[in-house]
Structure 1
C-alpha cells in the first residue's frame, strides 16, 4: 500500500506541470489566433512522444490539411531511412543517382553531377534561384509528380556558391533521387518507411505534385505523431545558420544543454488563391506541437507563433 501511495504521489507531482504546460500552449495558440484575426486553425500537442490534446478553431481538428514545407521533414526522414538501409548514402551524387536519366542530367553538367544527397538535404547544393516560387507553377501542383520537371529545370542552370540557400528544388530533386533509387513513387516509399500507421497521410489534392517539398496532406494529429518519431542524431548532416541554429534533413535544429530542439514552418502564399501555413516543433523538454492555419502570415506573425508557443512549453519546467 505504501508503494502504491508513493507511485500515486509521484504521478500527481509529474502531472501538474504537464497539464500547466498544455494549458499554456493552448492559451498561447488562441491568443495568437485572436491577434491575427485567423478564422481556421488546428493544434495538436504532444508530450514525451504521445499526443495529449487536439484542438480546432473554426474547423475540425480531424480534417486533413496541406502541410506545405513541413513535407520536407517527411522527405528528409525518408532519405535517412534509405541511408540506414544502404540504398543511398550522404555521398551519393546526382551523377550516380541519375546515371540512367540523361533527360535529368545531360552530359557535360559535371558540377551538377557532383551534387551530393547531403548537399540537397542541407540546402547547400549551389542552387540559388527557386523556380517553384513563381505564381505560375501552382496550376501544375495538383497533378501528378512534377519532380522530373523541377529537377530538369533546376539542373540545367549554372550553380552558385555551395552555401545555405533555402530552395524547394533541393527537395524536389531528393524526391526524384528516392524514386530512382527504389523504383517506386516517392509517395509509396515514404508512406511505408516513415508514415506507417498515419492513415490520413497522402498527397494533397491541390498541391500533391509537389509532394517531396510541399505536397503532403494529413491531420495535425498525424503530423504531430510523425514529428515525435524524429530523433536528431549527432551525425545528421547540417549546415550552420545565424543564432546557433542549423538546417538538417528537412528541419531546423538547435542543440541545447538538455538535448535538441527541432522545428519548421510551411506556407503557400499564392495571391489569396491558395494561402495557408503550418508549423511544428519538438523541444528538448519533451513538448511538441503541430499547427495549421488558413492564412498566409507575415514573418513577424510567424515569429510570434514560434516564440509564444515555445515560451508556453517552458512556462512551468
Structure 2
C-alpha cells in the first residue's frame, strides 16, 4: 500500500483510539425526563449529570454546561453533613455532644453576655442538629444584616426555640448553619475552607465547590456553588465503597430510625417535613433524606433559590436522587419556581431512577 507518510500516521492514530462508550441508558432516561419537564414548565437553563458510584456516565447541557458552577441552595447541607461526619470519625466530636460542651468558650465569653436567649439552646446535640430535631425555627438568622457565618450564628443564639430539643421533627436551615459554625471553630478557618476538604477526600479539586459571594452568611445550609458533574461525584461520599464515612458515622447513618414526621408535617403546632417525596417513614441525616428498601438505600434532597432574598437576583433550584444501585442524578436549573414545577421535576426523575431499567449495572 502506498500513502503519504503524514496521512498514514494520522490513520494509524485513528485506528489506535478506543471506541467511544455508548451513553448510559439510565443517564439518557434521566435527561429525557428533564428535557420534557423543561419544555412543559418553560425552564430556561439547566445542567444534568448522572454518575454510577464516582464515575460520570452521562452529562447534559441545557444552556448551562454540566461543568459550570451554579448555586445549589439546600443541597449544600450534605456538604456540611459530610464535613461534620469527618470531625466525628476523627473523634473530635461525638453525636451526643451538646452545644454547651462544644462551644463552652463562646457562651462564657464577655462575662456570659453571649449566653443564648433560650436556655434550652445549649442542650441541643450534634445528632439533633443533623436530623432536624433540635427544636430550632426554620431561619433563625437575618439574611439582610448577617454577612458571615459567625454573625448568623450569633443571631441564631438570640432566637427562641420552636420546640424542646429532641421532641419534634421540623426542617430547619438554622441547624445546618450552626453545624457550619462548629466546623469553622474546630477547623480554626473559614467554613468554606474547612468543609471544602470533603472534595479532596474524594480526589477532587479543593475548589470543586465554592461559597457564593452573596450567600456567605448562610453558606453551611445553602451557600455552595458547584457543577452538576462535581456534585454527582461528591454524592459518592454516601456510597460505602468510597470509605469517606468512617465506621462510627456509617453505622450511625444506617441506624437512623424512620419517622412519618420526615415525610409529612403537622398543622398544630406547625412543622415542615424535609422529605415529602418519600412516603411512609423515611429518615434524615447528614443533609440527605433516606429511604431503606429491600435493595438498599435511596437518597434525595432538593434546593430552592429564593428570589426574594436581599441582593440575590438568581432564581431556580436543584435536586438529586441516588438509587440503590449507586446511580446518582443531579439537576441544577434556573427560572421562576412556583413549587408545582419543582414537584414535577422531582417526581419525574424519581420515577426514572426507580424503574427496573435504572438498576442495570454494566458488568453485573
Q: TM-score, normalization: structure 2?
A: 0.75
Determine which of 185, 192, 200 is the counterpart of 2:208. Answer: 200
C-alpha distance 210-129 of structure 1, shift in aligned 2 (>3 A): closer
- Measured in 1, the distance between the counterparts of 2:118 and 2:281 equals 35
Q: Which runs of 5+ in 2 are unaligned?
A: 1-20, 241-249, 264-279, 360-364
Cα distance per residue 1:24-44 (max 9 Å; x no partner): 111001011111100110001
Aligned equivalents of 2:188, 2:35: Cα separation in 1: 45
C-alpha change, 1:289 and 1:107, in structure 2 (3 Å) is closer
Give the counterpart of 2:180 among 175, 178, 181: 175
Q: 1:49 aligns with which of 44, 50, 54?
A: 54
- 2:302 is the alignment partner of 1:265: yes
2:252 aligns to what SS in structure 1? Answer: coil
Q: Is the counterpart of residue 285 in structure 1 residue 325 in structure 2?
A: yes
1:209 aligns with 2:217: yes
2:154 is matched with which residue: 144, 152, 155?
152
Deviations 1:125-145 (A, max 9, x none): 11134245x7xx2x557x5xx
Answer yes or no: is the 8 Å Cα contact 2:79–2:198 preserved in 1: no
What residue number does 1:117 align with? 126
Equivalences for 1:178-257 in 2 at 5 Å? 178-196=183-201, 197-198=204-205, 199-231=207-239, 233-236=250-253, 237=256, 240=259, 241-242=262-263, 243-257=280-294
218-227 vs 303-312, which moves further? 303-312
Structure 1, residues 219-264: CA drift from partner, whole Å, max 9, x if none? Answer: 1111110012223745225662232211111011110110001110
Deviations 1:105-164 (A, max 9, x none): 5178541111111111111111134245x7xx2x557x5xx2222222222233232311
Q: Counterpart of 2:47 in 1: which secondary structure? A: strand
- Conservation of the 8 A alpha-carbon contact between 2:231 and 2:330: yes
Largest Rg, 1 or 2: 2
Give ranges in structure 1 of 5+ residues lacking alignment.
1-14
* Bigger shift: residues 50-59 or 38-47: 50-59
Contact 1:97 1:180 in 2 (8 A): no
1:76 matches 2:81: yes
Question: Quick check: 2:137–2:174 contact (8 Å CA) kept in 1?
Answer: no
1:275 aligns with 2:277: no
* Preserved CA contact (<8 Å) 1:195 1:201: no
Q: Which has the higher contact order (CA 8 A, sep 6+)?
A: 1
Partner of residue 10, structure 1? none
What is the CA–CA distance in structure 2 between the aligned matches of 1:273 and 1:87, rounded to whole Å?
39
Distance 1:129 1:222 in 2: 28
Residue-by-residue CA offset, 1:170-206 (whole Å, 9 max, x unaligned): 1111111112223222211111234542443111122
Q: Cα gap change, 1:239/1:94 in structure 2, threshold over 3 Å: closer, same or farther?
A: farther
Q: Retained in 2: the 8 A contact 1:24–1:315?
A: no
Helix, strand or coil at the partner of 2:286 = coil
Secondary structure of the corresponding residue to residue 299 of structure 2:
strand
Larger displacement relative to structure 2 (102-111 or 184-193): 102-111
* Mapped partners of 2:77, 2:115: distance in 1: 27
- 8 Å CA contact 2:149, 2:191 repeated in 1: no
2:105 corresponding residue in structure 1: 100
Which 4+ residue blocks in structure 1 deviate beyond 3 angstroms? 107-110, 193-196, 231-234
Residues 203 and 209 in structure 1, CA contact (< 8 A), matched pair in contact too: no
Alignment length (residue pairs) = 295
Please tell me whether the aligned partners of residues 69 and 266 of structure 1 are also in contact (alpha carbons under 8 angstroms): yes
Q: Give the 5 Å matches for 1:10-25.
A: 19-25=24-30
Q: Give the Cα separation in 2 of the matches to 1:252 and 1:39.
A: 28
Task: Decide whether aligned partners of structure 1 residues 131 and 107 sit closer, same or farther in structure 2, where only a CA change above 3 A counts.
Answer: closer
Query: What SS does the corresponding residue of 1:206 show, helix, strand or coil?
Result: helix
